[in-house]
Amino acid sequence: MSTAASLATTTSGADLLLWVAFPYICLAVFTVGHIWRYRQDQFGWTSRTSQLLEHRWLRWGSPLFHLGAFMVIGGHVVGLAVPASWTEAAGISEHQYHTTAVWAGSVAGVAMVTGLGMLCARRLLTRRIRLGTDRSDKFLFPLLSATVLLGITATAAHNVFGPGYDYRETISVWFRGIFTLQPQPEAITGAPLLFQLHALTACLLFAAWPFTRLVHVWSVPIGYLARPYLVYRRRTNTPVAPARARRSARRAA
Amino acid sequence: MPRDGATIGRVMAQVAMVMNLDKCIGCHTCSVTCKQTWTNRTGVEYAWFNNVETKPGVGYPRRYEDQEQWKGGWMLDKRGRLVLRSGGRVKRLLSLFSNPDLPSIEDYYEPVTYDYDNLVSAPAGPDMPVARPRSVLTGKPTDITWGANWEDSLGGAPEHAGADPNLSGEWAEKVKFEFEQTFLFHLPRLCEHCLNPACVSACPSGAMYKRVEDGIVLVDQDRCRGWRMCVTACPYKKVYVNHVTGKAEKCTFCFPRIEAGQPTICSETCVGRLRYLGLLLYDADRVGEAAATPDEKDLLDAQRGVFLDPSDPEVIAAARRSGIPEDWLDAARRSPVYDLVMTYKVALPLHPEYRTMPMVWYVPPLSPVLDAVDAAGGNQDDPDHVFAAVTQLRIPLEYLAELFTAGDADVVAGVLMKLTALRSYMRERILGEPGDESALKAVGLTAREAEDMHRLLAVAKYQDRYVIPAAHKEDAAALSAMENRCPVESSGDPQPTDGRRVMLGIPTLRRRNPDAPAGGHP
């Protein structure tokens, strides 16, 4: 960590590249990629279910992974987006916060890692599914696994078994800086390597998001709870987006 | 039809089908032409939008009729409300990660191809080269242990057919699978395009819909997100997951043909000429109420009560208010489906107890009746002998009742007696005799009606079987936006590279394509 500590005093060009330029590029790719894919590839926008071909591992792996992921995402939102001063103001001491985070985070992390492990295992071990794994999956699964494993290793090494690392004073500050357009690369340059790598792979994951099956996250069918059971549609008023109408006009020409 | 003073709600038209099972010889031409038209693509190798089952038998997918296991269709809850058997909305969303009631590929069958190439490329040798089966899922040699028509004509029946979910109850012990005591008939099945479709109701994305104009149930391939709840919800298991695109696909009722006024491909190519296509008008506002009829055995009448008489001036006026065009009303009046379902009442729905209000109906099979009369030493021409034989069929009435009337054997017996009376009367007529109308009277038919039924069921001219009004050209503007798009887009084949179609979710190479070099990208 000595190099990281020495870098913390100044902000070198490499730091600017890693902790300012790279996150912004990833966010830009994330945003533009989603818009592009949503407009161009509705047909490919799916969870790509493989339950038909293998269901025994999926039965446990998929719910474990997804429910674990929900908790992990929730934990990250609280840990990264909410400043420590807010939770203090709410009467939650640093120690209480830390204890809760470690416990809930451990449960969530173990669930997510176990689930992801099972999902990766079935993808590797079941030939039918391995053959159905496309390039985006071959990129996504290792990247997601790396991010999750780095995250849980960092937490385990520093906060469960280690002396404790208060990421809320450092990494969270950097994270919020990105979104408030006041980047503070110096806040993260002193962080332990595992946390830094975790942050970098996470940025990469966001950049890859729109080009993988992760897009199904945005299709979570909440509207189903409220809509009438039967759906009727007229053949005549199929909504035609202007872009598509133009395209089909061009095609017809 | 008197409507008991009830006002008519929204009138909708549906292109519905009736199949005359007496004529089905189980040739599978419908299945094969359907497959060639719609499912000869990677990802749906195992899917048969139309399949022909031998009954009794476990069916395709295996034991799909056992709703205790597969949770298809609707049921009434303790308070008598209509609910999906697979559970409520919240439960459905909670099972998105892993659907506990989804059939696996083994419940259908593992699709295979054969090493045809070996037949011509094998080096000269002392043995005949063989084409070994190879799984299209793994590319490895495999043993074929099941198929969509594995039980064809009772193949393996002594082992398997006893597991037919319809063989419940004490009467089932009468059903024998020994060669000389058994019975069979063929049951062609496709999507029922139900009035109360469970698949549509279970689709979390709202990608499935029933078309207002012609009642065809479709999956919007652009909106399907692969949550696969439709597969579970459909009690007929006629929605399939394309395991390459990850999207649901189903029978489209060949809507491009229907819109052009042509019969579906399964109907067009049916060599037995047993399929009928025509319009049924129905009151869309009464579907829910009819589907929630408390007694399962009343569901048949409840569904018939939803259909509207296209000759009734009140219905015509209501239909015009609902925007149904005149040529469609005219087609509804000439509909052979209306005749078979409503006028002669010889067609019955498949499993009305699923409460989906299916719209592919069946004229139950009669074939073994006359044999049964002969076997009992009776006179085939004597209606009394034949009527008596109907109740002692080798196909137990109870079995047909399980399939078509939620267990009400009297209804099936009524239909079979009607068909028997018709046969015996028309046999005399064709032999030049005046014809004894007493048997007809006994089943409530007139000589004129018998002639009409005979023309429809026995002569069965093409133009009598298929009365399909074309879609309206004023809709063409909306259609033109769709015209270049196949409703179920291919994925295994090379896509046009004009940059318009992206399909990131689609693997560029799934497995070795027989035409492509091994391991290379196509």
Nearest-angstrom CA–CA distance, B112 and B133: 6
Q: How confident is the model over B246-289, as pLDDT tens digits?
A: 999 999 999 999 999 999 999 999 999 999 999 999 999 999 99
Q: How far apart are the two ends of chain A, measured CA to CA in Å? A: 64
Residues in chain A, total: 253
Interchain contact B501–A (C-beta under 8 A): yes
Which whole-number Å values give the CA distances from B516 to B300, B368, B494, B520, B522, in the listed order?
53, 51, 11, 7, 6
The pLDDT of residue A3? 43
On the question of pLDDT at B315 being above 50, the answer is yes
pLDDT of residue A11: 76
B86-112 average pLDDT score: 96
B162 near B58, Cβ under 8 Å?
no
pLDDT of B422-455, one tens digit each? 988 998 899 998 888 888 998 999 999 999 999 9
Contacts of B479 in chain A (CB under 8 A): 235
CB contact under 8 A, A235 and B226: no
A184-233 pLDDT tens trace: 999 999 999 999 999 999 999 999 999 999 999 999 999 999 999 999 99
Chain B residues inside the 8 Å CB shell of A42:
222-223
The residue that leads in pLDDT, A93 or B404, is B404
Give B514's pLDDT tier (boundaries 50, 70, 90): very low
Considering CB atoms only, which of B92, B206, B481 is closest to A240? B481
Q: What pLDDT shows up at residue B4?
A: 52
**The two structure tokens encoding residue B353:** 């107890």
Q: Is B90 on the interface with A (CB under 8 A)?
A: yes
- In this complex, which of B246, B471, B478 lies closest to A49 when CB atoms are compared? B246
Provide the pLDDT for residue A10.
62
Q: Which is more confidently placed, A229 or B485?
A: A229
What's the CA gap between A119 and A144, in Å, rounded? Answer: 12
Cα–Cα distance between B124 and B147 in angstroms, integer?
33
Q: Do the Cβ atoms of B507 and A133 come within 8 Å?
A: yes
Contacts of A46 in chain B (CB under 8 A): 224-226, 245-247, 505
Q: Give the integer Cα–Cα distance in Å for B276 and B426.
A: 21
- Give the whole-angstrom CA distance, residue A232 versus residue B120: 53
Over residues B152-178, the mean pLDDT reads 83
- Flag whether pLDDT at B60 surpasses 60: yes
pLDDT of residue B510: 39
Per the DSSP assignment, residues forming a β-bridge with B466 are B277
Closest chain A CA to residue B519:
A131
How close B370 gets to chain A, by Cα (Å)?
45
Q: Which two tokens stand for residue B77?
A: 């809850």
Q: Are B502 and A41 in contact (CB < 8 Å)?
A: yes
B500 or B99: which leads in pLDDT? B99
Can you tell me which residue has the tokens 């009448």? B301
Stronger pLDDT, A93 or B522, i.e. the higher one? A93
pLDDT exceeds cutoff 80 at A65: yes
* Mean pLDDT for the stretch of residues B381-394: 70
pLDDT at A247 over 90: no
- Gap between the Cα atoms of A103 and B219, Å rounded: 44
pLDDT at A150 > cutoff 60: yes
> Among B69-78, B111-120, B492-501, where is mean pLDDT lowest?
B492-501
Q: What is the mean pLDDT of chain B?
A: 88
Q: Indicate yes or no: CB of A46 within 8 angstroms of CB of B210.
A: no
DSSP-derived 3-state class of residue A133: coil
- Between A53 and B482, the more confident residue is A53
Any idea what DSSP says for residue B36?
A: I
Task: Specify the length of chain B in residues.
Answer: 522
Chain A touched by B226 (CB under 8 Å): yes
* Better-predicted residue by pLDDT, B262 or A2: B262
DSSP assignment of B213-271: TT--EEE-TTT-----HHHHH-TT--EEEETTTTEEEE--TTHHHHHTT---HHHHT-T
The pTM score is: 0.88
Determine which of A121-125, B217-221, B253-257, B395-399 has the lowest per-residue pLDDT on average.
B395-399
Contacts of B258 in chain A (CB under 8 A): none
Q: How far is CA A113 from CA A65, A107, A203, in A?
A: 7, 10, 19
Topology, domain A3-252:
Fumarate Reductase Cytochrome B subunit (1.20.950)
Structure tokens belonging to residue B485: 């798009």
Give me the pLDDT at residue B499, please: 43
- For residue A108, what are its two tokens? 């969530």
Nearest CA in chain B to A241: B481
3-state secondary structure of A159: helix
Which of A35, A39, A118, A231 is the best residue to mutate to test the B interface, defined by the most B CB atoms within 10 Å of its own CB?
Answer: A231
Confidence of residue A250 (pLDDT cuts 50, 70, 90): very low
- Name which residue leads in pLDDT, A236 or B205: B205
**B211–A230 CB contact, under 8 Å:** no
CA distance A51 to chain B (A): 7
Strand partners, B114: B133
DSSP string over A3-34 = HHHHHTTS--HHHHIIIIIHHHHHHHHHHHHH
Checking if the pLDDT of B522 tops 90, the result is no
Residue B512's pLDDT band (boundaries 50, 70, 90)? Answer: very low
Residue B191 has φ and ψ, to the nearest 5°, of -55, 140
Give a three-class secondary structure readout of A60-80.
HHHHHHHHHHHHHHHHHHHHH
Q: Residue A208: list chain B partners with CB under 8 A.
A: none
CB within 8 Å: A51 and B98: yes
Instruction: Report the Cα B129 to chain-centroid distance in Å.
Output: 40
What's residue A170's pLDDT? 93
Chain B residues whose CB is inside 8 A of the A40 CB are 500-502
Could you tell me if B64 and B350 are in contact, meaning their C-beta atoms sit under 8 angstroms apart?
A: no
Q: Which of B100, B137, B475 sits opposite A128 (nearest CB)?
A: B137
